[in-house]
Structure 1
Amino acid sequence: MTTSIVMTGETMTDDFHQPDDPLNPLLNPTDERAEPGMYPRMRNLSAAFAYRGVVRALDPAPPEYVTVPLSVGMAGDPRPAVAVAQWNLLWESAQFRRRYFGEEDLPAPLYKVADSGDLNVVFVPRTRSRYYEYAPLFHLLPRAALARHGLPLLGSGIWPFSVQLGDIDAYLPANFQARLSRAWAGTVWRHLMPQYQSPISGFTANDPIRILAHNLDFWIPPVTAVTQNVLRDFPEVANGITPEPVRLQDGSLLEGAVAANPRTGGDIWQGEEEAAEVVRQTVEAADADGRLRGILDAVRSHRCEDDFSSRWTGAREDFERKLYNKRSKIKVRFVELTDTIPVHGPETEVVGQMLCGDFLALLNERDRTVVVLLNSGITKLTEVASLMGYRNHSAVSKRLDKIRQQAARFFN
């Protein structure tokens, strides 16, 4: 690629307020950064920290998260952590970022992924809690939601992942995923069920919309898409890179990409108001193809009693009102259809004028019609013949003889 797309080796300063103890991710509840105007918060580090220019994908592929084992803090081999940070900083390059690295630049597990082709991969540390995979969702939760579901007050998140200073699992409950799932579902619920006074507690755990709200993996792609959309509006760093095609080492051009200045970093969202807007946009991104709204409308329009818990909700009231209003308008009338075949079980017997269902099953359609008509009170063969479309009763007489013979064999 062009020689301008190189690592700078320079350090940059920013206005990010780091915790007093960088190894402790917890935020003091009395800290001003825990106030609703500043919390929750998600930020981004500019690729300009390490690169003078970037290869910008014109049609970026959707990112996928891949977990890798990384050492914590200063323990162990730091090279995998450095390689992951350098890789993730190039989020604008998307599926083309592998072209920055040779086999000697990446640890074997990372190079194996890079060598798989042009894939838009975001590397995150492999942890018990899966915090780094779900960080974009966690850092959209207001402080009250964290307290309600027993989740810790963590400092600001960074997307994409850059560095793991401490063992995050040491600060998270053992059932972190379950707690986060409930907290996220409660946060996104009003966008999925906008009906008046219909909180999530008014629906059973088997309700389809409630299941969808709790599915963290479903929400990661849309929240990542929204995050990147926000970042694409950030201004470029003035590094003097003129947008131009990217030339590879063999002289060919890299299709679908241009050389460009890196974008600045900064807050992707900060405070409850901005986070709430990102949640709304996440729901819209999840419905980019229109299927989510179709599913939601179908579920809301075809509710059943089992969807609701014992708690009253506006949705349940609407359901019951529609149900009973429809029932009150329906008049049920039972009529006896004498020209139809009754349904009997395997043990059916002949009682009086009742025909055995097992015997009728032996007859073909025309013979069964003769039996039904005679059993319905039509006694004249000419009438039977007329109803069946015969010119005279001869054909009916022949069928009756055949039926009598079959009946004799069947009931003897």
Structure 2
Amino acid sequence: MDDEREPTTDEIEAWQRDDAFLPVGDVRPDEHPELRNISAGMIFSGVVRPLEPELPDYVAIDMEHRSLELGGQVGMWNLLWEAAQFRRRFFDDDLPEPIASIADMGDVNAILVPRTQSRYFEYAPLYHLLRKSTLDRFGLPLLRRGQWPFMADYSNIDRYLSADFGDRLARAWAWTVWPHLNSGSRISAFSGDDPIRLLAHNLDFWVPPVTTVIQETLRTFPEVDKGKTVGPVPLQDGGVLEGAVTGNPRMGGPVWMGEEDAAERVVETVETADSTGHLRGILDAVRSHRVADDFSAQWSNAREDFERKLYRKRNKVRVRFVELTDTIPVQGPESEVDGRLVTSDFLALLDSQQREIVVLLSSGYRQHEIAERLGYASHSPISKKLAQIRRQAEQFFGMDQ
């Protein structure tokens, strides 16, 4: 009779907690942290590989009251990460919502995750790069190994995470990545409004590069022998799918395992952020235009260098504005959004329209495009405003003395 009885609520709770958390005694530096992947070969006999796969977007969907069908289809959709923007072509037209609406958008590369308050599933790759000492330092829970991409949430993990999980994770990640952004000075040597410090805390900025690192690692895994050969992808109408070839699924396994392996992936993530978010260009631009408010009261090599250049070489400084193409604006969690305008204390010297001009210029807009955006007939007013901004900057740095 005991074997046939329904489990109690407490028993289910205990099982789910055990599924979510790693006992402290089971933590080994050569095994934790860990992120794993499951092969699409478990279900699919072949895959479609784009010749130029798009970088995926994480799409959070409501799965709180999910059906078994929705849960199963989400898992299969994500298994096909190699198919990237072509994964919808593996499914019939009777997909459950909201997957059906995503598929109807065409060939888009989307990784589906449950919508949660903590956003754990979007940030899981970053979380599972953190060693136990870092988790302890920032009061983060010791979770079991991560899974990429999302397959299933057996333990309803969000209910075990604190309301400030995202903030704690942002601080932990910034502390981890900071030595690779500014090796000469601690993060505490900079103010909370320092642009690089804000960037280090911006988890959304780091998700694309870490996702690229994961996928590039998985592409080195051997294939499951399903008998597929590389060739054109046939379509039902007799044509072929342009920009794609057939192939065998790749094997699954650990993407990284242990502190040493995870540390190498952190370095790769920083390096990859240069291609996904123009990281080096942003760092160089910020370092070249430091202001006193970027630093905290603590002494640091960076502050000493800044003050030496400011007080001894200020008469050699020139203020210039350069049009940057193919760049994206990066806003930190403390940025303010007012209509089209994004501002922060980094541009506090300027009035609202001047700040907008600088942000647009640094985001890749040319002067004539900014003029059109702001309703001017020509770029002449923009040139005049840039001259005013330059004069204000020269006065601020004491170059008029």
Normalized against structure 1, the TM-score is what?
A: 0.71
1:56–1:93 CA contact under 8 A, matched in 2: yes
Out of 202, 209, 213, the position equivalent to 1:215 is 202
| Structure 2 residue aligned with 1:27 | 22
CA 1:28–1:296: 2 relative to 1, 3 Å: same
* One-letter amino acid of the structure 2 residue matched with residue 45 of structure 1: I
2:129–2:266 CA contact under 8 A, matched in 1: yes
Is 1:312 aligned with 2:299?
yes
Is 1:167 aligned with 2:130?
no
> For structure 1, which segment, 237-246 or 294-303, has the greater mean C-alpha deviation from structure 2 after superposition?
294-303
Shift of 1:279: 1.1
Q: Deviations over 1:137-161 (max 9, x none)?
A: 1111111111111000111101100
User: Whole-Å Cα distance in 2 between the matches of residues 263 and 292 of structure 1?
Assistant: 31
User: Whole-Å Cα distance in 2 between the matches of residues 97 and 260 of structure 1?
Assistant: 14
Q: Deviations over 1:235-291 (max 9, x none)?
A: 001111111111011111011111111000000011111111111111111112783
User: Whole-Å Cα distance in 2 between the matches of residues 220 and 326 of structure 1?
Assistant: 39
| Structure 2 residue aligned with 1:392 | none
CA 1:139–1:290: 2 relative to 1, 3 Å: closer
* One-letter amino acid of the structure 2 residue matched with residue 132 of structure 1: F
* One-letter amino acid of the structure 2 residue matched with residue 29 of structure 1: V
| Structure 2 residue aligned with 1:247 | 234
Is 1:232 aligned with 2:219?
yes
User: Whole-Å Cα distance in 2 between the matches of residues 263 and 68 of structure 1?
Assistant: 27
User: Whole-Å Cα distance in 1 between the matches of residues 208 and 267 of structure 2?
Assistant: 14
| Structure 1 residue aligned with 2:377 | none
Shift of 1:122: 0.5
SS of residue paired to 2:275: coil
Out of 87, 99, 120, the position equivalent to 1:97 is 87
CA 1:71–1:305: 2 relative to 1, 3 Å: closer
* One-letter amino acid of the structure 1 residue matched with residue 51 of structure 2: L
CA 1:80–1:316: 2 relative to 1, 3 Å: same
SS of residue paired to 1:108: coil
| Structure 2 residue aligned with 1:179 | 168
| Structure 2 residue aligned with 1:86 | 76
Which structure 2 residues correspond to residues 232-381 of structure 1 after superposition, within 5 A? 232-288=219-275, 291-326=278-313
1:71–1:81 CA contact under 8 A, matched in 2: no
2:37–2:149 CA contact under 8 A, matched in 1: yes
| Structure 2 residue aligned with 1:50 | 43
CA 1:327–1:288: 2 relative to 1, 3 Å: closer
Please give the root-mean-square deviation of Cα atoms over the aligned residues, in Å.
Answer: 1.9
User: Whole-Å Cα distance in 1 between the matches of residues 314 and 239 of structure 2?
Assistant: 72
Is there any run of 5+ residues in structure 1 with no aligned partner, and where?
1-19, 331-412
Out of 59, 75, 79, the position equivalent to 2:52 is 59
User: Whole-Å Cα distance in 2 between the matches of residues 115 and 108 of structure 1?
Assistant: 11
SS of residue paired to 1:85: helix
1:71–1:78 CA contact under 8 A, matched in 2: no
User: Whole-Å Cα distance in 1 between the matches of residues 104 and 78 of structure 2?
Assistant: 16
* One-letter amino acid of the structure 1 residue matched with residue 263 of structure 2: A
| Structure 2 residue aligned with 1:132 | 121
CA 1:322–1:225: 2 relative to 1, 3 Å: same
User: Whole-Å Cα distance in 2 between the matches of residues 67 and 134 of structure 1?
Assistant: 12
Shift of 1:302: 2.5
* One-letter amino acid of the structure 2 residue matched with residue 178 of structure 1: D
1:58–1:257 CA contact under 8 A, matched in 2: yes
User: Whole-Å Cα distance in 1 between the matches of residues 163 and 97 of structure 2?
Assistant: 31
Is there any run of 5+ residues in structure 2 with no aligned partner, and where?
1-13, 318-401
2:174–2:201 CA contact under 8 A, matched in 1: yes
| Structure 2 residue aligned with 1:353 | none
Is 1:122 aligned with 2:111?
yes
| Structure 2 residue aligned with 1:153 | 142
User: Whole-Å Cα distance in 1 between the matches of residues 80 and 241 of structure 2?
Assistant: 16
| Structure 2 residue aligned with 1:39 | 32
SS of residue paired to 2:141: coil
SS of residue paired to 1:124: strand
* One-letter amino acid of the structure 2 residue matched with residue 90 of structure 1: L
| Structure 2 residue aligned with 1:77 | 67
User: Whole-Å Cα distance in 1 between the matches of residues 209 and 100 of structure 2?
Assistant: 27
- Larger radius of gyration between Structure 1 and Structure 2: 1
Percent of aligned positions that are identical? 57
User: Whole-Å Cα distance in 2 between the matches of residues 146 and 100 of structure 1?
Assistant: 39
2:208–2:276 CA contact under 8 A, matched in 1: no
SS of residue paired to 1:230: helix
2:205–2:277 CA contact under 8 A, matched in 1: no
SS of residue paired to 1:189: helix
1:137–1:223 CA contact under 8 A, matched in 2: yes
User: Whole-Å Cα distance in 2 between the matches of residues 290 and 126 of structure 1?
Assistant: 25
1:235–1:263 CA contact under 8 A, matched in 2: yes
User: Whole-Å Cα distance in 1 between the matches of residues 194 and 29 of structure 2?
Assistant: 32
> For structure 1, which segment, 269-278 or 226-235, has the greater mean C-alpha deviation from structure 2 after superposition?
269-278
User: Whole-Å Cα distance in 1 between the matches of residues 285 and 183 of structure 2?
Assistant: 15
Shift of 1:322: 2.6
Shift of 1:101: 1.0
